[in-house]
Amino acid sequence: MKKHFIASLIFLSANSLNAQNRIVDKYGQLSVKGNYIKSQYGDTVQLRGMSLFWSQWMGQYYNEDAIKWLQDDWKCTIIRAAMGVEMGGYLTNPETEKKKIIQVVDAAIALGMYVIIDYHSHEAHINPDEARKFFGEMALKYGKSPNVLYELFNEPLKDVSWEKDIKPYEELVIKEIRKYDPDNIIICGTRQWSQLVNEAASNPIKDPNVVYTLHYYAATHKQWLRDEAKAAMDKGVALFVSEFGTCDASGNGSLDLEESKLWFRFLDKYKISWCNWSVADKEEAASILTPGASGEGGWTNSQLTESGKFIKKEMVEKNSVVLKKTSAK
């Protein structure tokens, strides 16, 4: 009898621990209200998580073990699956790259995490039919899952037009997604590597559950970009930092942790969700892992880069508070 009692306690304890990490159980279906992402219960939502690296070059981290480690050890509440499109990515090997995305999305759903399906391209508008086909398939497959967000255009370049190039492309893809998924949030890239959000806010996409992508690298993008973000929000739109780094815009160079802290204060003030770039062991400043770190998680502190340690600390401290409230709910 005592053995059965102890076994029951272990089972309940494990389930309780698991429940603490299941952010989707807390927030459910997300929607956009003014400047904010809201849960289906009315909470204002701020998600903090990681972005995977270009899928064609760091596919070893596109698996459930790595995602679970990020959830359990890093307290990630969202993961961004960055499907490379050009340069040997989806346009060249569609089934191979799509399979990696499906593995990550299925893992996130099983773990109760939110997940971004990111079309990781700088020139997605050049091949709109390929994007429309891909997102139509993803929406048909995952449209009933509240875990999923769609990111249509990672970083449009500087010398394209929001009005003539980016917005029409995104409207076309949104129309395809909405055939199968009427309500999951769609993240729309903005001009100049997803920085000029105020331009998009001046001529917004007419969909109630759209947010605009703001990307920054702390050593390069400083107060002027926070001012750009505030100007966009003053026009009533919601923002999502689906990618940022603690270093300069090249993904390398010295870290600027003081500027990173200013950004975190800004994001927390306005409840803007974020994903850090990136889960990679590439030898560059933006990577969170040192070369050779396992593809299945289990990373020790010595396998984390300076940026990795900094980001993990921020995420664990702040997400643990949210997840604790999740457990108590």
Give yes or no for residue 295 having a pLDDT over 70: yes
**Which among 151, 155, 199, 259 is annotated as catalytic?**
155
pLDDT tier for residue 325 given thresholds of 50, 70 and 90: confident
Q: 20 pLDDT band (50/70/90 cuts)? A: low
pLDDT of 324 reads 87
Check residue 327 and give its pLDDT. 54
For 96, 124, 163, the CA distances from 287, given in Å and listed in that order, are 24, 25, 34
Average pLDDT on 261-276 reads 98
Least Cα distance to 176 among 134, 125, 119 occurs for: 134
From the list 151, 170, 176, 243, the catalytic residue is: 243
Closest CA to 233 of 33, 1, 18: 33
Q: Over 70: is that where the pLDDT of 16 sits?
A: no
**What mean pLDDT, rounded, does the chain reach?**
94
pLDDT reported for residue 11 = 36
Between 14 and 26, the more confident residue is 26
SS3 at position 216: strand
| pLDDT tens digits, one per residue of 151-197 | 999 999 999 999 999 999 999 999 999 999 999 999 999 999 999 99
Compute the distance between CA of residue 68 and CA of residue 17 in angstroms, rounded to an integer: 13
User: Considering only CA atoms, which of 171, 49, 201 is closest in space to residue 115?
Assistant: 49
pLDDT at 2 over 50: no
pTM, 2 dp = 0.94
What strand order describes the sheet that includes 36-38?
Answer: 31-33, 36-38, 44-45
Catalytic residue check, 317:
no
pLDDT of 13 > 60? The answer is no
Q: Would you state the pLDDT for residue 12? A: 36
Q: Which helix (H) or strand (E) holds 128?
A: helix 128-142
Amino acid at 94: P
Q: Which domains does the chain have, with CATH numbers?
A: 32-328 (3.20.20.80)
pLDDT band at 6 (very low <50, low <70, confident <90, very high): very low
Residues near 291 by beta carbon (within 8 Å), at least 6 away in sequence? 281, 282, 283
Output the pLDDT for position 92.
98
Let me know: does 50 contact 316? Beta carbons within 8 Å.
no
- Catalytic, 64? Answer no
Assign 287 a pLDDT band (cuts: 50, 70, 90).
very high
